[in-house]
């Protein structure tokens, strides 16, 4: 079972990273806190202090001709708190050019 599905990168989640040293992930519905903690520790090589999980209900969206509705699937969000001084690099470091402001590859 693949426990971590993807990181959640929103404005609110980046503020949590800066203030609380916590990272947010979308996780598998059947995963428990212990499995999430172990997977993050093995994948990123960090020490997890605490894990909080939130079950989110799927939203309904209009599709195509605006008469039909589609329900998105339910999901689970996990907030993983790391030991002080440790971090997860979700983006590889990229340098911007001073003149153009574009990212150098």
For residue range 1-32, what is the model confidence (pLDDT) as tens digits? 799 999 999 999 999 999 999 999 999 999 99
Domain range for 45? 4-82
Can you give the pLDDT at residue 95?
58
Question: pTM of the full predicted structure?
Answer: 0.79
Beta bridge partners of 76: 27, 55
Number of domains in the chain: 1
Residue 41 within any structural domain of the chain:
yes
Residue 91 within any structural domain of the chain:
no
Q: How far apart are CA 27 and CA 97, in angstroms?
A: 36
Question: Do 25 and 41 contact (CB within 8 A), yes or no?
Answer: no
């Amino acid at each position: 079972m693949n426990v971590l599905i993807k990181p959640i990168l929103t404005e609110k989640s980046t503020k949590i990273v800066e203030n609380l040293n916590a990272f947010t992930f979308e996780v598998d519905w059947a995963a428990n806190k212990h499995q999430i903690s172990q997977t993050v520790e093995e994948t990123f090589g960090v020490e997890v202090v605490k894990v909080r999980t939130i079950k989110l209900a799927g939203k309904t969206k209009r599709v195509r001709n605006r008469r039909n509705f589609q329900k998105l699937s339910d999901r689970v969000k996990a907030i993983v708190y790391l030991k002080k001084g440790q971090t997860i690099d979700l983006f590889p470091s990229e340098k911007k050019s001073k003149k153009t402001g574009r990212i150098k590859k």
